[in-house]
Amino acid sequence: MTKEHLGLPVGTTLDRFIKRKQDDFPYATGELSQLLRDIALAGKIINREISRSGLLNIGGAFGATNVQGEEQQKLDVIADIRFTRALKNGGEVCAIISEEEEEIIDLDNPKGRYIVAMDPLDGSSNIDVNVSIGTIFSIYRRKSPVGGPISKEDVLQAGTEQVAAGYLLYGSSTMLVYTTGHGVYGFTYEASLGEFFLSHQDIKMPEDGKIYSINEGSYCSFEPAVKEYIDYCKENEYSARYIGSLVADFHRNLLKGGIYIYPCTSKAPNGKLRLLYECNALAFIAEQAGGCATNGYGRVLEIQPTELHQRCPFFIGSKKMVQMASDLMKKQEQETAAGTV
Ligand code: AHM
Ligand code: MG
Torsion (CA) 78, 50, 85, 149 in degrees, nearest 10? -70
Among 129, 272, 275, 315, which is best to mutate for testing ligand 1, by the most ligand atoms less than 8 A from CB? Answer: 272
30: confidence class by pLDDT, cuts 50, 70, 90? confident
**Closest by CA position to 285, among listed 171, 144, 185, 151:** 185
Distance 246 CA to ligand 1 centre (A): 6
Whole-model pTM over 0.85: yes
Q: Is 124 in the pocket of ligand 1 (CB under 6 A)?
A: yes
pLDDT at 60: 63
Domain 14-200 top-level CATH class: alpha beta
DSSP 210: S
Q: Whose CA is nearest to atom 17 of ligand 1?
A: 244
What residues sit around ligand 2, an ion, with C-beta below 5 angstroms? Answer: 119, 122
Model confidence at 284: pLDDT above 90: yes
The answer, yes or no, to whether residue 25 has pLDDT greater than 80, is no
Of residues 264 and 147, which shows the higher confidence score? 264
Distance 123 CA to ligand 1 centre (A): 5
Average pLDDT over residues 282-301: 98
pLDDT, averaged across the chain: 91
3 pLDDT band, cuts 50/70/90, is very low
Instruction: Supply the residue whose CA is at minimum distance from atom 12 of ligand 1.
Output: 244
Which residue's CA is the nearest one to ligand 1's atom 11? 246
φ, ψ of residue 236 in degrees (nearest 5): -100, 15
Å from CA of 53 to ligand 2 middle: 19
Say if ligand 1 is within 6 A of residue 305 CB. no
pLDDT over 80 at 7, yes or no? no
pLDDT band at 339 (very low <50, low <70, confident <90, very high): confident
Mean pLDDT of 133-144: 95
- For residue 3, how far is its CA from the centre of ligand 2 (angstroms)? 34
pLDDT single digits (tens) 70-100: 666 688 888 888 899 999 988 899 999 998 8
Residue 235 pLDDT > 90? yes
CATH architecture of residue range(s) 211-334: 3-Layer(aba) Sandwich (3.40)
Share above pLDDT 70 across residues of the chain, in percent, rounded to a whole number: 90
5 has pLDDT over 60: no
Nearest CA to ligand 1 atom 6: 123
Above 80 in pLDDT, residue 64? no
**pLDDT value of residue 2:** 43
Residues 120-133: tens digit of each pLDDT: 999 988 988 889 99
Which of 66, 132, 246 maximizes ligand 1 atoms within 8 Å of its Cβ, making it the mutation to test the pocket?
246
Is the minimum distance from the CB of 215 to ligand 1 under 6 angstroms?
yes
Lowest mean pLDDT among 81-90, 207-216, 267-276: 81-90
Of the ranges 53-67, 180-194, 293-307, which one carries the lowest mean pLDDT score?
A: 53-67
Decide: 72 in ligand 1 pocket, CB within 6 A. no
121 Cα–ligand 2 center, Å? 7
Is 200:185 a contact under the CB 8 Å cutoff? yes
Model pLDDT, residue 62: 63
Per-residue model confidence (pLDDT) at position 209: 98
Backbone CA torsion sign across 128, 131, 132, 137:
negative
pLDDT in tens, 41-55: 999 999 998 887 766
Dihedral Cα 50, 31, 310, 185, nearest 10 deg: -60
Pocket flag, ligand 1, residue 70 (CB < 6 Å)? yes
Distance between Cα 123 and ligand 2 center (Å): 6
Whether the pLDDT of residue 66 is over 80: the answer is no
Domain ranges of the chain: 14-200, 211-334
The band of 238, judged by pLDDT with boundaries at 50, 70 and 90, is: very high
Q: Which atom of ligand 1 is nearest to the CA of 243?
A: 11
Does residue 272 have its Cβ closer than 6 Å to ligand 1? yes
In this prediction, residue 4 carries a pLDDT of 43
Burial 142-179 (b: 16+ CB within 10 A, else e): beeeeeeebeeebbbbbbeebbbbbbbbbbeebbbbbb
Query: Which atom of ligand 1 is nearest the CA belonging to 260?
Result: 11
